[in-house]
Amino acid sequence: MSYPIKIMLFIAMSLLTVVSIYTTYASLNDSILPEPTVMIPLAGGTVWKCSIIALGLSVAIGMMLFALKMAIIGGQKRLNIFGILGMTIVAFISIVFNMDVLYRTADREFYLRYSNDRMRSTYEGYLAEVQGVLQERKTELLRSVAKQEGELDAETKGLRKAPAGYGQYAKEEDYKLTVLQKTAAVDLEAIEQAMATKAQADDLLRTAVPEKLEDIDKTQAELRVIVKDLSGVSGVALPQLVKTESPLFAVFAKLMDIKTVGFKEIFFLMIAFFLDLGDIIGYTLVPNKKEKKAPAVRLDPFPAPRRLALVSGDGETAADDDDLPETRADGDENDEVVDDGERAAYPALRGSRRRPGTFRIGRR
């Protein structure tokens, strides 16, 4: 890899690391670690309210991932299937924070809408349960009154003990009916008031449109004032106060809900993943440059006889090829043997003695 490409790769990975550090810090500052903070003055009179713990953790995660990527590029680490799994485990925290910031940035009303829907669903479920209990109790009261009216009518027609007419038994049934109607009327009135209260709470939930988180808390407070008496009439306990979750857990709960996960959630999850690991995964998937192999050289095991340009001891070179002795591979019976006189006259032959039966290529 050439130096310009290495420099470009280093700059690109550095910029991606800076973006990852920013998203991690923004998510931590909004959700988990907003304090302690330090006021840092910036240019133009602007003051940055910096969360020290969030900044330190985000920088540490970004530097650790950057160091691992540099180690992989430098050849000190290998990135196979297990390497990708290990890098994903290391980068999991940063990926979650990236997903939080990217999703809330793309859908700025998500957190407000999620908090409002969570509060509404809690009280809508409570009101539906109260309505079911009240309707069942009202039906029982009306059924008991209708049954007593039937007892009186049957006694008057002579369908029971006494003959037809308004006799002693009919008077007793009429007395029971009168008492039951009076008591049922009181209970029915309380039920009707509770139903009216429930309708008022439904109107508040239907018309309340929050513009900020404080509006959600205000609506919940008004709603609890309205429905506080329903628990006494219906016997259904008032739900606990719904507290606003942090943005990080809101996004995480959205992603874990399989019923509501769609293309948008999967798309931003992929962006959050490749923001941290896309550069190094793409780098490792690029095939390496193929090395050019040197052409094969065929060497004969027994080369032909050769002649050497020999220099005599006094520095003179042999002028005629006939004066040069022939050298052959040792072990050949027909090879001409160079005697010690010739070796002394020509220094180039002094180191050419070989062991019998041994042949070495490239040595003189």
Residue 73 pLDDT: 77
Q: Give the C-alpha separation, 86 to 117, whole Å.
A: 38
Tokens of 66: 């950057």
Q: Is the pTM of this model over 0.75?
A: no
Residue 362 pLDDT: 45
Q: Give the C-alpha separation, 65 to 97, whole Å.
A: 14
Q: What is the DSSP letter of 260?
A: T
Q: Give the C-alpha separation, 122 to 238, whole Å.
A: 10
Residue 1 pLDDT: 62
How far is C-alpha 88 from the geometric centre of its chain's CA atoms?
9
The identity of residue 100, as a single letter, is: D
The identity of residue 361, as a single letter, is: I
3-state secondary structure of 160: coil
Task: Spell out the per-residue pLDDT of the chain, length 364, in tens.
Answer: 677 877 888 888 888 889 888 888 988 888 887 788 888 888 877 888 888 888 888 898 888 888 888 887 776 566 677 777 877 877 888 888 888 888 888 888 888 888 898 999 999 999 999 999 999 999 998 998 888 888 888 878 877 777 777 777 778 888 888 888 888 888 888 889 889 888 898 898 888 888 888 889 899 998 988 888 888 888 888 888 888 888 888 888 888 878 878 888 888 888 888 888 877 777 777 666 666 666 666 655 555 555 555 455 555 554 444 554 554 544 444 445 555 555 555 555 455 555 555 444 444 4
Residue 255 pLDDT: 81
Residue 290 pLDDT: 66
Residue 334 C-beta-side C-alpha neighbours within 13 Å: 2
Residue 344 pLDDT: 53
Q: Give the C-alpha separation, 335 to 352, whole Å.
A: 14
Residue 343 pLDDT: 52
Residue 364 pLDDT: 47
Residue 40 pLDDT: 85
356 preceded by cis ω (within 30°)? no
How far is C-alpha 91 from the geometric centre of its chain's CA atoms?
9
Residue 332 pLDDT: 47
Dihedral angle sign, alpha carbons of residues 17, 19, 21, 27: negative
